[in-house]
Amino acid sequence: MELFRREDKMSSLITRNYNLLPVINRFGIRLGFKEKTIAEVCQEKNIDTDFFLAIVNTYTDESYFPEAEFLSFSPVLLIDYLKNTHRYYINYVLPKIEQLLNKVMESCPDNCSSLKMINTFYQKYKSELLLHLKLEDEKVFPYILNLYENKTLSPEGSFIEVIENEHTNVEVKLSDLENLIIRHLSPNYEDNAMNEFLTALLQFENDLNDHARIEDHILITKVIEFEKELKK
Ligand SMILES: [Fe+2]
Ligand SMILES: [Fe+2]
């Protein structure tokens, strides 16, 4: 897919890739763009247009990841965006997925033990993910901001390895859950309810993978650079 440019209409962003709807909301952008271009809307909202384009293009084209450009942005911008994404996961996506799962459970007439197992698996996954987001919000992001703003290392450390490991763990768990449902679960539920739940799960997986890609490749690289500089 062709990449978005600053002179493109903001409306074309949504008509070409509606998955970007929640992404633009994270920047405080809402519908009703009229004929305005991406650059015009960004300027009005005081958003760095290059950063906005790097994010929406990363979400749109899987092979696009402008690592050098991302590394040139301030960590304040990156962290602000990542934190907004966490809030979207915690306040909207996870409760929504849970609601859809409950609907699937309610639609099961009898012999629901394997569905109950899926539910237990999901609950475990959710608590691990919430702990991961909390660690980033409460420890990792403040650590990086402190490095950047005050140029000091904290004795607590950066949690970089912990974060990288946790990304692998949550990714594996989510794809295990999807595999269980797609390959092994006996179809003892209402189809539409299951399709809605599974679609939401798969969409979440995409969003989460992009999110982790920014954290692993950009944020962590920045931390290593900062730490090296300070330890000189
Ligand atoms: Fe995160
Ligand atoms: Fe993360």
Full pLDDT tens readout for the chain, 232 residues: 789 999 999 999 999 999 999 999 999 999 999 999 999 999 999 999 999 999 999 999 989 999 999 999 999 999 999 999 999 999 999 999 999 999 999 999 988 999 999 999 999 999 999 999 999 999 999 999 988 888 877 777 778 888 888 899 999 999 999 999 999 998 999 999 999 999 999 999 999 999 999 999 899 888 888 888 887 7
What's the CA-to-centroid distance between 163 and ligand 2, angstroms?
A: 6
41 and 140 in one domain?
no
**Cα 173 off chain centre by:** 16
Judge if 55 and 79 occupy the same domain: no
Could you tell me the distance, in angstroms and rounded to a whole number, from the CA of residue 43 to the centre of ligand 2?
A: 29
Pair (149, 220) in one structural domain: yes
Verify that 42 and 79 share a domain, yes or no: no
Alpha carbon distance 5, 178 (integer Å): 35
**31 and 101 share one domain:** no
Is 185 in the same domain as 208?
Answer: yes
Last residue of a domain, one of 40, 64, 88: 64
Evaluate whether residue 1 is within a structural domain.
Answer: no
Residue 7: both structure tokens together: 């002179």
Inside any domain, residue 119: yes
Residue 151 has φ and ψ, to the nearest 5°, of 55, 40
CA distances from 114 to 130, 181, 184, 213, 221 (A): 24, 10, 9, 33, 42
pLDDT of residue 156: 74
Alpha-helical runs (H) found in the chain: 10-16, 21-25, 38-44, 49-60, 67-72, 75-88, 94-106, 113-135, 141-150, 160-179, 191-214, 220-231
Distance from the alpha carbon of residue 26 to the mean position of ligand 1, in angstroms: 14
Q: Distance between CA atoms of 181 and 200, rounded to whole angstroms?
A: 13
Q: Is 27 helix (H, G, I), strand (E, B) or coil?
A: coil
Q: Does residue 217 form part of some domain?
A: yes
CA 66–ligand 2 middle distance (angstroms): 19
Q: Are residues 187 and 89 in the same domain?
A: yes
| Domain identity same for 181 and 226 | yes
pLDDT for residue 193: 97
C-alpha of residue 93 to centroid of ligand 1, in Å: 14
Query: How many structural domains comprise the chain?
Result: 2
Q: Which domain holds residue 59?
A: 10-64
CA 2–ligand 2 middle distance (angstroms): 28
